[in-house]
């Protein structure tokens, strides 16, 4: 079931959201029994705490949720959601308390309800929330549903989320929103001039493919390109076992663009949307491409392969070049591209590259509003020489190890000529440990921030 707010407020328990400073004032208006109960349970309004208030028959008649101090809240993305595990299953309606951002807290509650249950037989009981007054509940449900989809796609292991299944996810999306979809598969990639998508995926049991979804016939042109490497062994530059364990998530860029596309279509934005996903598995077999090979891209630029584990930029390059041919007003790529990005900003931030100041400012403001943090990184021009080898136009894996995320972004930008604006997101798409509103596992990073920036950037 998609995430929804509780519609029946009559059957919801009143929930009082209290800071440590507000607790005493609230208690003065309560019965002697409630004051004694709160004191006995040691509830003090701290973040991550909650308390059920029993009635005369013993069943709960209300609940308290700690909201902490302003300094403590600044360190937590979804504050109210931190209290959910301490609440009994059931439905709740906020009865008192001043939330810093009711929409963000309500979204965090919806996101906290996510469970990846495909391979589990036991279901967990949920805590539902009546939408707080004044929030756009329908929009928040759209955002949460898209995030759930992204998490499901990333969490699904490669045995059930290879190129064929990723294509089906895009087809399901197209069917739901009456979009058109074309898929170029296998040897047809060579015939239609997508040579690098083909070469990266040709060694796998499922044929490589380029998924091309279109929706909308009016408005600015928006093209999303998502890296769909459904599993990455590293190719002949084989990853060690410890680095391969999470490689089911190497299609996180595709999952995030699918989630973003779902938001855009569900909300009916006035754009001409295009979603391009090169879907491959980077496997090892006789046809694997090799270190030292020189590939020819869709643009005719040649690329020396110095590491077969830097395959994501290769498949993205052909897709970006194809998307740029239609001169979109805005083109975005999203990819779990480099470990260097994680070293730079950790797992919680989505680093992005863009030279268009209007987009940068709109995205930065939106990220704060949407609790979807991003961080700007530079297209540092002096590093261009690092991606220019001796025997080809470009190098897919410059030696030395410095500035790996920047050089990858510079590489991709070489294939975007024709797009009016371009931004690249080098995301992680994974939550290493459970946090309020963010379960351990697959994660959307950047789509809500991007969605909030589109009206200003595209004049919607």
- The pLDDT assigned to 125 comes to 83
- 125 shares its domain with 146: no
- 101 shares its domain with 210: no
- On average, the pLDDT of the chain sits at 97
Contact between residue 198 and residue 232 where contact means Cβ atoms under 8 Å apart: no
CATH number at residue 13: 3.40.220.10
> Residues near 432 by Cβ (< 8 Å), separated by ≥ 6?
347, 440
- 158 shares its domain with 287: yes
Beta strands in 130-259 (DSSP E): 180-185, 209-215, 221-226, 228-232
pLDDT tens, residue by residue, 93-123: 999 999 999 999 999 999 999 999 999 987 7
Last residue of a domain, one of 85, 118, 135: 135
- 112 shares its domain with 174: no
Global model pTM greater than 0.95? yes
- The pLDDT assigned to 121 comes to 86
- The pLDDT assigned to 122 comes to 77
User: Residue 146 pLDDT > 90, yes or no?
Assistant: yes
pLDDT band at 73 (very low <50, low <70, confident <90, very high): very high
Q: Of 140, 211, 148, give the one whose Cα is nearest residue 180.
A: 211
- 202 shares its domain with 351: yes
Q: Is residue 229 part of a domain?
A: yes
pLDDT tens, residue by residue, 13-47: 999 999 999 999 999 999 999 999 999 999 999 99
- The pLDDT assigned to 59 comes to 94
Contact between residue 284 and residue 238 where contact means Cβ atoms under 8 Å apart: yes
Last residue of a domain, one of 82, 111, 135: 135
- 28 shares its domain with 147: no
- Determine the angle formed by the axes of helices 20-27 and 32-41, rounding to 10 degrees: 150
- The pLDDT assigned to 278 comes to 99
CATH number at residue 437: 3.40.630.10
Q: Of 149, 157, 335, give the one whose Cα is nearest residue 246.
A: 157
Rounded Cα gap, residues 296 and 385, in angstroms = 19
Q: What percent of the chain has pLDDT over 90?
A: 97
- 80 shares its domain with 163: no
In the structure encoding, which two tokens stand for residue 264, read together? 């855009």
Rounded Cα gap, residues 84 and 80, in angstroms = 7
Q: Total structural domains in the chain?
A: 2
Helices (H), 202-251: 241-244
Rounded Cα gap, residues 148 and 163, in angstroms = 20
- 225 shares its domain with 308: yes
Q: What value does the mean pLDDT take over residues 390-418? A: 96
Last residue of a domain, one of 97, 119, 135: 135
Q: Is residue 1 part of a domain?
A: no
In the structure encoding, which two tokens stand for residue 356, read together? 């268009």
Q: Is residue 291 part of a domain?
A: yes
Q: What value does the mean pLDDT take over residues 72-99? A: 97
- 165 shares its domain with 54: no
- 118 shares its domain with 172: no
- The pLDDT assigned to 199 comes to 98
pLDDT band at 196 (very low <50, low <70, confident <90, very high): very high
- 271 shares its domain with 419: yes
Q: Is residue 107 part of a domain?
A: yes
Q: Is residue 4 part of a domain?
A: no
pLDDT tens, residue by residue, 318-342: 999 999 999 999 999 999 999 999 9
pLDDT tens, residue by residue, 5-15: 999 999 999 99
- The pLDDT assigned to 400 comes to 84
Range of the domain at 183: 141-458
Contact between residue 418 and residue 331 where contact means Cβ atoms under 8 Å apart: no
- 239 shares its domain with 369: yes
Q: What value does the mean pLDDT take over residues 52-60? A: 94
Q: Is residue 316 part of a domain?
A: yes
Q: Of 401, 424, 405, give the one whose Cα is nearest residue 413.
A: 424
- The pLDDT assigned to 309 comes to 98
Catalytic annotation, residues: 239, 313
Q: Is residue 347 part of a domain?
A: yes
Kindly list the distances between the CA atom of residue 123 and the CA atoms of 214, 334, 420, in Å, as whole numbers in the listed order: 36, 32, 47
Count the Cβ atoms, other than its own, within 10 Å of residue 304.
Answer: 20
Q: What value does the mean pLDDT take over residues 248-265? A: 98
- The pLDDT assigned to 2 comes to 87
- The pLDDT assigned to 207 comes to 98
Q: Is residue 2 part of a domain?
A: no
């Amino acid at each position: 079931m998609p995430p929804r707010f509780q519609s029946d407020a009559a059957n919801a328990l009143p929930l009082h959201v209290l800071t440590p400073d507000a607790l005493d004032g609230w208690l003065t208006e309560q019965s002697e029994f409630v004051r004694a109960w709160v004191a006995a349970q040691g509830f003090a309004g701290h973040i991550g705490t909650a308390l059920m208030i029993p009635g005369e028959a013993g069943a709960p008649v209300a609940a308290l949720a700690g909201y902490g101090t302003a300094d403590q809240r600044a360190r937590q993305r979804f504050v109210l959601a931190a209290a959910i595990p301490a609440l009994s299953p059931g439905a709740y309606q906020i009865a008192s308390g001043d939330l810093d951002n009711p929409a963000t807290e309500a979204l965090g509650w919806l996101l906290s309800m996510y469970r990846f249950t495909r391979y589990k037989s036991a279901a967990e009981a949920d805590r539902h929330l009546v939408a707080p007054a004044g929030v756009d509940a329908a929009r928040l449900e759209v955002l949460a549903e898209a995030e759930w989809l992204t998490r499901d796609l990333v969490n699904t292991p490669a045995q059930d989320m290879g190129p064929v299944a990723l294509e089906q996810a895009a087809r399901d999306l197209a069917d739901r929103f009456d979009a058109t979809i074309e898929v170029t598969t296998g040897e047809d990639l060579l015939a239609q001039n997508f040579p690098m998508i083909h070469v990266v995926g040709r060694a796998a049991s499922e044929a490589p493919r380029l998924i091309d979804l279109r929706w909308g016939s009016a408005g600015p042109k928006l093209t999303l390109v998502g890296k769909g490497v459904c599993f990455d062994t590293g190719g002949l530059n084989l990853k060690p076992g410890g680095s391969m364990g999470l490689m089911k998530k190497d299609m996180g860029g595709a999952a995030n663009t699918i989630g973003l596309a779902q938001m855009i279509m569900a909300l009916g934005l006035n754009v001409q949307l295009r979603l391009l996903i090169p879907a491959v598995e980077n496997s090892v077999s006789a046809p694997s491409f090799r270190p030292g090979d020189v590939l020819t891209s869709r643009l005719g630029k040649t690329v020396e392969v110095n590491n077969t584990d830097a395959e994501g930029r290769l498949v993205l390059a052909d897709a970006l070049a194809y998307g740029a041919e239609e001169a979109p007003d805005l083109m975005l790529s999203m990819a779990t591209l480099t470990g260097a990005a994680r070293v730079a900003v950790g797992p919680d931030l989505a680093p992005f590259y863009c030279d268009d100041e209007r987009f940068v400012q709109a995205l930065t403001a939106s990220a704060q509003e949407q609790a979807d943090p991003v961080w700007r990184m530079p297209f540092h021009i002096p590093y261009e020489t690092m991606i220019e080898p001796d025997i080809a136009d470009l190098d897919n894996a410059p030696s030395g190890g410095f500035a790996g995320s920047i050089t990858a972004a510079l590489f991709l930008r070489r294939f975007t000529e024709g797009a009016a604006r371009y931004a690249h997101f080098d995301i992680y798409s994974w939550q290493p440990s459970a946090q309020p509103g963010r379960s351990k596992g697959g994660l959307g990073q950047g789509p809500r921030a991007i969605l909030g920036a589109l009206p200003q950037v595209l004049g919607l």
